[in-house]
A and B are shown apart, each in its own frame.
Chain A
Amino acid sequence: MKRIAAIFLVLCAAGSALAAERAVTLKDAPGKQTVEAMCSGCHSLDYIPLNSPFMNRQAWTAEVGKMINAYGAPIPQNDVATIANYLAANYGVQ
């Protein structure tokens, strides 16, 4: 019961958090939904345009790796390339 209540609380908090902050509209391109789903749980998406455009694919991959390895983000390994490709193509440099 406690756990269900906790999950409910977190879902509400995540929902209300998204409602309260200004919507960040990322560029429409393949991978956008994965980026939104994986990144916005812990931080607002404004971090992405803010950090653009100066990172290449390798640098963006390192950022995603930092989120997983240093900050413990539950991002599946097979989504890493999707996220890094999207960020490099839309918010990066060659």
Chain B
Amino acid sequence: MQRRQFLQALAGTAVLPSFTPVTAFAAERVPLTYGLPAGAYGDAQMASLPGKRPLIEWTARPPNYEAPMAAFATPVTPNDLFFVRYHLAGIPPQIDRQQWRIAVTGDSIATPLQLSFQDLQRDYEQVDVTAVLQCSGSRRGLSDPHVPGVQWGLGAMGNAVWRGPRVKDILAKAGLKPGAVEVVVNGADGPVLTTTPDFVKSIPIAKALDENTIVALQMNGAALPHFNGYPARLIMPGWTGTYWMKHLISMEPVSKPFDGFWMRAAYRIPTGMFPTVQIFQTQENAMTTPITEMVVNSLITSPAEGAHFRVGEPVTVTGFAWDGGYGIRSVIVSTDNGASWREATLGNDLGRYAFRPWTYQFTPQAAGNQQILASAANRLGETQVRTLIFNGAGYHNNVVRPTTIVIA
């Protein structure tokens, strides 16, 4: 079958036109971290989606764009530098907020609702939640050995102030019945072929009813960028991005576990492999369990890899730490390859789901390559690991990662 026949097959099954946003390419150098597959370095380029500054374009269709380190100059990530991640290329080029609705239905709802943007803004308390949104596969590209997928480096994440109504208030108004176990959520985007499973997820009812789980109508005080889920997306603080449904169009509380492809076959990790408090019980089996909370992690934002300093010149190290919502207890730094560690100074606490800034100062005494290690611990006592806990999907990579600077 050649291209013409493939397109005919495609035409018979297509539900949404395969959409590629018109991107502008930037001539600037692509600021990639070390440790990615060789092919990634040749593939990547800086490109701007509509409404975005240049990001690292990994794939054009569906759009997968990583935030460069410049996005992490502040603890709140600017909207126009926020990363973009889609699974399937059937993305509406634009959404009319006046026409858009969220349907609240399902076998565990007494009074189905069709909610407009105005309803959601006017009829419910508006709540601010500052939370890290991180792709489950953030740092997948650093897996050793490498595993297939988008080869994300350090920037498949961001921290924003999300604002909108609580999911629990919406479900209460729709008459949530006892016996609901999960809420099935769907967005306006979908597959190119009808034979491809639509990206539909479910969340446990307990997490849906958490007071911090909201439908975001705003991001950092502005409308959500189109490619971050305009006009509204689900906010699941502490949990990885797979549940943060973009372009949210339905929420269905159900009395039986949801059996869709994206729950049953994707975003799963070996049961018991990672420390987890909030387990998605109704979707777990003996072999695998859905990824849920983020593991504790940190990022050195400055100095940059390869930066030059002089002997005797103080070096200020800055970064962020974050976890699944228990809060950061400490960040420790080593400048002697892990032989000794000292505590960094923690900065402003923007909330337990947010990036926690930290700083550390030291004065190099000898010329040569100087390695800096940082490792975060959360209030549960969980720490980053020194050796990768390998899994085939490349999830939960929180290996302590050296930044090397040059002292002359």
Contact = CB atoms under 8 A, between A and B. Distances in A.
B206 to A, nearest CB: 29
Contacts of B47: 22
A29 interface: no
Chain A interface mostly: helix
B35 to A, nearest CB: 12
A37 B7 CA distance: 9
A42 B193 contact: yes
Chain B interface mostly: loop
A53 B20 contact: no
Interface string B1-24: 111001111111110011111110
Contacts of B45: 22
A54 B25 contact: no
B193 A54 contact: no
Could you say which interface size class chain B belongs to?
Answer: 35 or more
A33 to B, nearest CB: 7
Given A42-B18, A42-B89, A43-B89, A54 B2 contact: no
B261 to A, nearest CB: 7
Interface residues of A, number: 43
B59 A50 contact: yes
A90 B53 CA distance: 33
Given A21-B61, A51-B148, A91 B14 contact: no
B8 A44 contact: no
Contacts of A10: 7, 10-11, 14, 17
Given A22-B25, A51-B148, A70-B261, 10 more contacts: A10-B11, A11-B7, A37-B2, A37-B6, A38-B1, A46-B59, A46-B60, A53-B38, A71-B193, A72-B193
